[in-house]
Amino acid sequence: METKQPESIRNKRRPIGVLSSITVNFFHLRNPWVSACWSAFFPGFGFIIMGSYVKGFLLVGWEFLINSQAHINLAIMYSFQGKFDLAREVLDVRWTLLYLAVWSFGIWGSYALTIDINKLAILGNREDSTMVPVSIGALDISFLDKRQPWVAGILSVFSPGLGHLYTHRIPTSFVLLVLTIGTVYFSHILQGIQYSAMGDFSLAKAVIDPQWLLFIPSIYGFAIYDCYVNTVEYNKLFEQEQARFLRDNYQNPRFRSRLIVTANQED
């Protein structure tokens, strides 16, 4: 009666993921509110955490263009500080309205995508889909392995993007390294850190460009969070894949009967 499709088709129809030489992209369960929050912090991040890179990069680029032209970050800062007149003044109305629809779409879109991906993750698991655990290409090598989540987190604390190099998620690493260089340079944050460390806080405030600075908290938090979660999920995926290999190859029923005979002789 069992009419399960052959494994080759099962793995193609309801795959659990794909391992390419530059990244391991796969489905796992997530909280949709978490993706929605990341998209709210920085449009595109909610898609990047799911490995939806083209959409993610598109929205990240869009965010940089529109936000820096419309001065959304400055307006956010002045609004939080209670300086509403300044906030109104600083917004460039030639650009501002462009922000709303796409920002909202980012939040809703990543929320909805998470829910769909959760369904696909459940289906893939029920089909017992698996993936080839190693991929070697002309330019890079990737494989499933057990890694330390806190190492990934700490590396991203030192420099956003490094944790993703450790877990071999190259596209995220690339975009984070580029974003970090750009925002750190234009916001003058390193000078601000230098002056703060020397105790000259007023000089630190004067040198920093708040429009660029306000990009940094989201990038920093996201880099740490995302590579930590990836490491944990990659470890689980490794165990799942290896368990299946062992089940398929090293659970011969004849072995069991021999073991029972031996154990009974012991008694």
Partner 1 sequence: MFVAGSFEYNLHLELAISELEKKGIPRDNIAAVLMDSRVEERKILDTIHRADGISSFDAAALIGTFGLLLGAIYGFLLNWGLVVWGLIGLLGGAVLGLLGDIFITRIFNKKRPGKATGTVKGAAPQVVLIVECHDDRAAAIKDILWDNLALGVGTLPG
Distance separating alpha carbons of residues 39 and 249, to the nearest angstrom? 43
Distance separating alpha carbons of residues 160 and 39, to the nearest angstrom? 18
Distance separating alpha carbons of residues 37 and 69, to the nearest angstrom? 23
Q: Verify binding: residue 171, partner 1, rule CB under 8 A.
A: no
Q: Verify binding: residue 112, partner 1, rule CB under 8 A.
A: no
- CA-atom Rg of the chain in angstroms: 24
Question: Are β-strands 24-26 and 17-19 bridged in parallel, bridged antiparallel, or unpaired?
Answer: antiparallel
Judged by CB under 8 A, the residue of 58, 76, 120, 123 near partner 1 is 76
Instruction: Give the interface segment with partner 1, choosing from 18-26, 102-110, 148-156, 165-173 (CB under 8 A).
Output: 148-156
**Of 97 and 198, which has the nearer Cβ to partner 1?**
198
CA-based nearest residue to 222, from 155, 151, 147, 160: 160
Amino acid, single-letter form, for residue 72 = I
Q: Verify binding: residue 236, partner 1, rule CB under 8 A.
A: yes
Task: Give the other-Cβ count within 10 Å of 15's Cβ.
Answer: 18
Residues in the interface with partner 1 (CB under 8 A) total 62
Q: Verify binding: residue 97, partner 1, rule CB under 8 A.
A: no
Judged by CB under 8 A, the residue of 2, 85, 266, 267 near partner 1 is 266
Q: Verify binding: residue 225, partner 1, rule CB under 8 A.
A: yes
Q: Verify binding: residue 105, partner 1, rule CB under 8 A.
A: no
How many angstroms separate the first and last alpha carbons of the chain? 41
Strands (E), the chain: 17-19, 24-26, 134-136, 141-143
Judged by CB under 8 A, the residue of 4, 85, 150, 158 near partner 1 is 150
Q: Which residues bind partner 1 (CB under 8 A)?
A: 31, 34, 37-38, 41, 76-77, 80-81, 145-150, 189, 192-193, 195-196, 201-202, 204-205, 208, 210, 213-214, 216-218, 220-222, 224-225, 228-229, 232, 235-236, 238-239, 242-243, 245-247, 249-252, 254-256, 258-259, 261-263, 265-266
